[in-house]
Structure 1
Amino acid sequence: MTPRFRHVALIGKYQAQDGARASGGAPPDQVLDGIGRFLRAQGCAVSIQKCALDGCDDAGYRQLTLEEIGRECDLVLVVGGDGTMLGIGRLLAPYGVPLIGINRGRLGFITDIPLDGYPETLAPMLNGEYEEEQRSLMLAQVMRDGQLVFEALAMNDVVVNRGATSGMVELRVSVGRHFVANQRADGLIIASSTGSTAYAMSAGGPILHPAVSGRVMVPIAPHTLSNRPILLPDDEEITIELVAGRDASANFDMQSLATLAHGDRIIVQRSGLSVRFLHPKGWSYFDTLRKKLHWNEGGS
């Protein structure tokens, strides 16, 4: 059977080879080569991310930049954890290429296919049997004296944090044209539905179903106990101004960092870009929550 996806890009963390051997697992290059061989057996052309894997030319894989992958490939397989998927998803979002995640991390909320037994799951997906969903991205900008000094996309969250050794920060928060409050806390999280199961959840925020078009604003250890998480529509612009606090910073998916000065404004808005995820047929978000959060364990 001719696969629905003809040209597949394979992306993973190749540099962790020594650690994988020490833990008793197969070296990442062997894992990825095994997946590449499987894809070829299904009739797919396989490329890998450029300069990612030593010896890849000997295996006959084309090396492509991420930009070339976005333009030329019709499917991307990401082998790793959610952090790897977050980074790749942001970079490939402008191209609209769908992503499938094979989980080599610990949680796997968005890399949901286990490494063990992946051929049985992937084979029907390559032939068009899958569920598709789209996760929206946030655009965050740091403004200083009216000038843009930093800009980043985020799929999970935008986090304003206090310094490692300093006290609380004071943040002036507005939503749209409306002032919300001056908040004193260790920080503030603006999370998408995708990021609602990450840092926001550990800080006491709610879980948002991916179909919910909203963001959750979660204070981190607030000084005022009545300062609670709030669900906001994702078409509203959120502005966070640093009023007081030393060594504060803004994190974007915990992968990009901006150092903040007093008076800096972090503006968070819907980016207009989204990431396409493909899941096995019959996939359910609630199955993922039940498995990853260990619901029902110990019950009768």
Structure 2
Amino acid sequence: MPGVFSQVGVVGRSRQEGIETVLEELIGALRDAGATLLLEDRFGELTSDGGDTHTRDSIGAHADLIIVLGGDGSMLSAAREMLQYGKPMLGVNRGRLGFLTDISPDRVREQIAAVMSGDFSSEERFLLDVSVQRNGETVAEGDALNDVVVNSGTSAQMIEVELYIDDEFVNRQRADGLIVSTPTGSTAYSLSGGGPIMHPSLDALLVLPMFPHALSSRPIVIRGDSEIRIDVLARNRIHPPVTCDGQVNMTARPGDSVLLRRNPAVLTLLHPPGHSFYASCRDKLRWSGALVD
């Protein structure tokens, strides 16, 4: 008998060492739960037990649950591509940190069985829509689950930008760039830049200057439904890259504006039993490490 989810899609990265073993374990766990497997086409050559393969669009349209096999980068990519289908997502970690993909490879059968029987927790995460505006027209657009970065793209060079929140002028910055992070992204790039960790349930955004040319220029946390505009001043000589989740790249020109607002759709993430954000921080960020033996 199928469990809570009758049709389960499996997507992710296929070129990782040891992925075949984890994939076979995952397929076996889903078969044991009585689920119909919808395997992404890139996994087809790695197993003979997956049945027919499918595109991501087909999986998004027909699956009740989407399992992402890979690291956080795989989850970021899948979330952006498949958000439109509104299906819950669950991650099996084959990467490094794994804040978003929290099923351990050595506990796949146990934890997948629990989730398929209805023993899981869920939470909603929001994404950012971003567009580059030039002379009143949209010239590029994308979305991000973690963060949007506007920077000089050149080592040891700064850009000058003006920051507006909800059409109100905030400040003018000379810096390497700005990071706008969701709570999900607060344990990613913005953490490396000195930003705070935000609990994933917060309805907030973080605006973080990158190496600002002012000691008083500090990170600011604002409402999650705020609209942000970053004006690239016309006197800049650099064409700054605009990057979503470190994966989607656009380019702005001097005089352009970068607009950011919350995507109205939400991503539902599932977690296996016993999941804790604070436990993940202790594990991934080594909070529990002793200073001395």
On whether the aligned pair clears a TM of 0.5, the verdict is yes
Structure 1 contact 7–47 (Cα < 8 Å) conserved:
yes
Percent identity of equivalent pairs: 37
- Pick which of 69-78 and 32-41 moved more: 32-41
Structure 2 contact 12–78 (Cα < 8 Å) conserved:
no
> Partner of 2:228 in structure 1?
238
- Structure 1 length-normalised TM: 0.92
**Distance of 1:128 and 1:41 partners within structure 2:** 15
User: Over the residues paired in the alignment, what is the CA RMSD in angstroms?
Assistant: 1.6
Specify the code of the residue in structure 2 equivalent to 1:192: T
SS at match of 1:54: helix
> Partner of 1:48 in structure 2?
39
**Distance of 2:196 and 2:237 partners within structure 1:** 27
Match of 1:159 among 149, 157, 162: 149
Structure 2 contact 122–270 (Cα < 8 Å) conserved:
yes
**Distance of 2:205 and 2:196 partners within structure 1:** 10
> Partner of 2:271 in structure 1?
279
> Partner of 1:23 in structure 2?
none
Which runs of 5 or more residues in structure 1 are unaligned? 21-25
Distance 1:60 1:284, change over 3 A: closer
Matched, 1:268 2:260: yes
**Distance of 1:165 and 1:294 partners within structure 2:** 30
Structure 1 contact 14–53 (Cα < 8 Å) conserved:
no
Deviations 1:28-84 (A, max 9, x none): 23431331122112211111113443265x434222221211111101111110000
**Distance of 1:12 and 1:33 partners within structure 2:** 14
**Distance of 1:279 and 1:33 partners within structure 2:** 21
| Matched residues, number | 290
Deviations 1:234-268 (A, max 9, x none): 11100001112414111011111111210110000
Match of 1:250 among 242, 250, 259: 242
Structure 1 contact 156–198 (Cα < 8 Å) conserved:
yes
**Distance of 1:86 and 1:230 partners within structure 2:** 24
Deviations 1:187-232 (A, max 9, x none): 1000000001111111111111111101000000000010000001
> Partner of 1:175 in structure 2?
165
Deviations 1:118-156 (A, max 9, x none): 211121111101000010011001001111011111000
Structure 1 residue ranges, 4+ long, deviating more than 3 angstroms after superposition: none
Specify the code of the residue in structure 1 equivalent to 2:7: H
Aligned runs of 1:46-125 on 2, under 5 Å? Answer: 46-54=37-45, 58-125=48-115
